[in-house]
Amino acid sequence: MALLISFVAGNHVIRHPSTPPAAQPTASAPADPDPSPPADPDPGTGGSTDPAPTDPGDPPANPPTTPTTPVVDTTPTTPSTPTTPSTPTTPTTPSTPTTPTTPTEPTAPTTPTEPTTPTGPTEPTTPTTPTEPTTPTEPTGPTPPVVKTGPLTYVSLTFDDGNAGQALAGSILGAHGLPATFYVNSGTIGTPGKLTLDQLHALAAAGNEIGGHTVTHVDLTTVPQDEVLRQVCDDRVQLSNWGFSVRSFAYPFAEVSDPVAQAVTDCGYNSGRLLGDIRSRFGCADCDWAENVPPARPAITQALDQFDTDWTLADLEGIVTAAEQHGGGWLQFTFHDVCTSSCESLAIGSDMLEAFANWLDERGDTRNTVVRTVGDVVGGAVEPLVNGPAVPPPTDENTVVNPDLETMQNGFPACWYRAPWGDNDATFSLVSPGHSGSVASQVTITSYTSGEGKIIPTLDLGSCAPSVATGHSYVLSGWYTSTSVTQFAVYLRTTTGSWIYWTSSPWFAAASEWTQAVWQTDAIPPGYTGISFGLNIFAPGTLVTDDYSMVDAAPPVAESVAEPLAAPAAETPVTELVPADPPAESVEEAPAAEAPAEAAPPAGSTTPPAADPAPPAEEAAPPAES
C-alpha cells in the first residue's frame, strides 16, 4: 500500500525488491525541469498566478547503511513528477479568499456620504431669506419724503362733452391708477357718438368724477337767466338722479359772466372751470404757472387752454415741470376725445395719453406731483339738489320767441341759432327791411355739395324753443324770398333735454317776392316736450326769412302740459328719429344721411338737387358774439 501511495506521489521508482536503492542526486545537479509550462490556473477561481509550491512528498526510505555511488536515475518517467502541479489545484482553496470580496461591503461606508447631510448646513441658504431685507429697498420710498418738502403740484385731467372715445381714456388712466373728471351734458348721454349711461357708471365705479356741463351744451352768456338755471341746475339734478355725486362744473365754450357764475353756485356746484388762464406755449404769457390751492374764486377756476392737435407730449410734460419749478399749485388739463387714428382737432391720440399717464405715474413716485379729480382738489361736501325753473307749458298762441327777429343779442336775433350743416359755404347776415320790420335773416350759399343752411329757434330747455304736447299737431309758418326751393326742417326735444331731428316738410317754390310757407306737422309722439324749426336752403342761392309762427292745430287740453326733465333716459319712441348732438366747441361735418321723403315741388319751380335731411343739432352753431 505504501508503494502504491509512493507511486502515485511520483517520488519513487519502482524497483525489484532485490535492486538496491538509487543514490540521491547531488545538490549541484538538479533534475531537468519539465519542459512543459505549468497549467494555467483555473480562471474561475480567481486565485493567484504564482506557481504552486512543491509538494514535499513522502519522506525518503531509510538510507542504506553502506554508502554506494550514487546512480542517476535516468528513467524518463521521473519527469512526470511535474504533474504534481496538478495538486496545486488544491490551492484553489485560496479562492475562498474571494470571500474578501465582502470587503467590498465597505462600500457601505458610502453611507458616510450621508455626511452630505452636512450639506444641510447649506440650508443656511434659507438665511437668504434675509434677502427679504430687499423690503428695505423700500427705503427708495423715502425719496418721496425728500421731495415732499417742496411745493405740492396737483394735476387734474378733465374731459368735456361725454364723447364716446372717453371710455378709452378711462381705461388708459385706470391702468395707471390715475383718476379723471368727466364733464358731461346729461341731455346727450346715450345718443350716437356719446357715452352711454352704463359707460358713465363704469367710469364712476373706477374712481373717476362725473361733473356737469349743462344739459345741451349751450353758451350760458347768450340765454335768459331762467334758461341758465334750467341748464345748470337740471343738469346736476339729472346726473344726481342717475346715481352720481356731482360737485364740479365746466362752462361750455369757456364763456361765463357774474350772473352765470352765481347760478353755478346757486345750483349746488362747488366749482366752475374756465379755460385759457394758465401760462403755456399756447398763450396767456402774463398768467400764473398754476392755479392756487384752494382757488381764490372756486366758481371760476383758472385752467390751461384746451388740448388740440398742436400740442405735443413735451408740452404736456413741460407744463407740469414748469409748475413744479414755480412753486407748485393746480393744473387742469382739458381734453375732448381720445382717438387711435384719424384724430379730430380736439382729440388726443391714445399713444400720447398713455405716454403722459405713464410719465405722471412715475412723477408721482419721484416728485411731489399728484393726480386728483377736480372735486378732490377743491373739496367740499355734495350740496343738496336745486331744481331749475319749470318749462313753460304749450299754448294755443304763437309760441315762437322773437318771431320777427327784431330783438338782438350779441349782434344776432335773440333766441335763434345759425345752423349750417354739410359740405357747403353757407354764410349768414341780416338784411333790411324785413317782411314786417327792419330786420330779416339772409342765408347765402355759393358752393354746395351737401347739407343746408338755416336759422332755427335755440335748442334749449324752454326759454326759446316752443313747448309741445303729446298727440298734438302744430301749424308752422314763415315768410320768405328765395332763389331756390325751401322746406321746414323740424327738431324735437326729449324728456332728458336732448334734441333730435324729426322730419322735413314738402318743398316750397322759389319766390322773388315775400311768400308765406305754411305746413301742419303730424301728431307729436310721446316722450317729447319741445320743438324747433326753420326754413332752409340746400342749393346755391339766397334765402331770406322773417316772421315765423307756430300754433296748435287744435287747442291743447288743460292737462296737456310740458313734461319736466326726467331723470332716467327716455327711450326714443319713433325709430326713424335721428338723434342729434348739441353744439360743441368745434363744429364737425355730420355724416351723410338718407334724405327724407318729400312731396313733389310746386308746378313751375326749378327742381334742386335732392335735399339732405336737416342736420343734427350739433351742427347748429351758437349765436355769434360781437
The answer to whether the beta carbons of residues 464 and 563 sit under 8 Å apart is no
Within a domain: 448: yes
Q: What is the mean pLDDT of residues 369-384?
A: 97
CA-based radius of gyration for the chain? 55
**Co-location of 198 and 288 in the same domain:** yes
Q: Which of 191, 309, 198, 215 is nearest to 590 (CA)?
A: 191
Domain boundary among 363, 378, 393: 378
C-alpha cell belonging to residue 407: 330783438
**Most confident of the following: 20-24, 95-99, 544-548, 579-583:** 544-548
Q: Which of 194, 162, 163, 216 is nearest to 458 (CA)?
A: 216
Give the pLDDT confidence of 412-459 residue by residue, as tens digits.
Answer: 999 999 999 999 999 999 999 999 999 999 999 999 999 999 999 999
Computed over every residue of the chain, the mean pLDDT equals 77
**Co-location of 163 and 284 in the same domain:** yes
Give 430's strand partners.
Answer: 441
Q: Locate the DSSP E strands across 122-234.
A: 153-160, 181-184, 209-212
**Co-location of 515 and 570 in the same domain:** yes
**Co-location of 374 and 413 in the same domain:** no
Within a domain: 357: yes
Domain extent at residue 170: 152-378
Within a domain: 443: yes
Q: What is the mean pLDDT of residues 617-626?
A: 38
C-alpha cell belonging to residue 269: 356746484
Asked whether the predicted pLDDT for residue 110 surpasses 60, the reply is no
What does the alpha-carbon distance between residue 194 and residue 186 come to, in Å, rounded to a whole number?
Answer: 10
What does the alpha-carbon distance between residue 166 and residue 562 come to, in Å, rounded to a whole number?
Answer: 33
- What pLDDT is stored for residue 142 in this prediction? 52
Query: Any idea what the CATH number is for the domain that residue 277 is in?
Result: 3.20.20.370
Within a domain: 158: yes
Q: Return phi, psi of residue 141, to 5°.
A: -55, -35
Global confidence as pTM: 0.66
**Co-location of 446 and 328 in the same domain:** no
Domain tally for the chain?
2
Which residues have a Cβ under 8 Å from the Cβ of 293 and sit 6 or more positions away?
152, 154, 329, 330, 377
What does the alpha-carbon distance between residue 537 and residue 510 come to, in Å, rounded to a whole number?
Answer: 10
Give the pLDDT confidence of 162-209 residue by residue, as tens digits.
Answer: 999 999 999 999 999 999 999 999 999 999 999 999 999 999 999 999
Q: Which of 70, 59, 58 is nearest to 21 (CA)?
A: 70
Query: Any idea what the CATH number is for the domain that residue 480 is in?
Result: 2.60.120.260
**Co-location of 317 and 419 in the same domain:** no
Nearest 10 degrees: Cα torsion 200, 202, 207, 213: 0
Q: Return phi, psi of residue 403, to 5°.
A: -65, -30
Within a domain: 537: yes
What does the alpha-carbon distance between residue 89 and residue 144 come to, in Å, rounded to a whole number?
Answer: 95
- What pLDDT is stored for residue 459 in this prediction? 93
Q: Which of 617, 602, 580, 606 is nearest to 505 (CA)?
A: 602
Q: What is the mean pLDDT of residues 41-70?
A: 39
pLDDT confidence band for 580 (50 / 70 / 90): very low
| SS3 state of residue 142 | coil
**Co-location of 281 and 368 in the same domain:** yes
Within a domain: 109: no
β-pairing, 487-494 vs 474-482, is: unpaired
Q: What is the mean pLDDT of residues 400-405?
A: 97
Give the pLDDT confidence of 292-347 residue by residue, as tens digits.
Answer: 999 999 999 999 999 999 999 999 999 999 999 999 999 999 999 999 988 999 99
Share of the chain above pLDDT 90, in %: 60
**Co-location of 414 and 374 in the same domain:** no
pLDDT confidence band for 616 (50 / 70 / 90): very low
Q: What is the mean pLDDT of residues 478-500?
A: 97
Give the pLDDT confidence of 454-469 residue by residue, as tens digits.
Answer: 999 999 999 999 999 9
Angle between helices 166-175 and 350-366 (to 10 degrees): 30
- What pLDDT is stored for residue 521 in this prediction? 98
**Co-location of 342 and 214 in the same domain:** yes
What does the alpha-carbon distance between residue 503 and residue 536 come to, in Å, rounded to a whole number?
Answer: 13
**Co-location of 431 and 364 in the same domain:** no
Domain boundary among 358, 378, 398: 378
**Co-location of 482 and 578 in the same domain:** yes
Within a domain: 34: no
Asked whether the predicted pLDDT for residue 567 surpasses 50, the reply is no
Within a domain: 161: yes
**Co-location of 487 and 352 in the same domain:** no
| SS3 state of residue 513 | strand
Selected residue with higher pLDDT from 22 and 225: 225
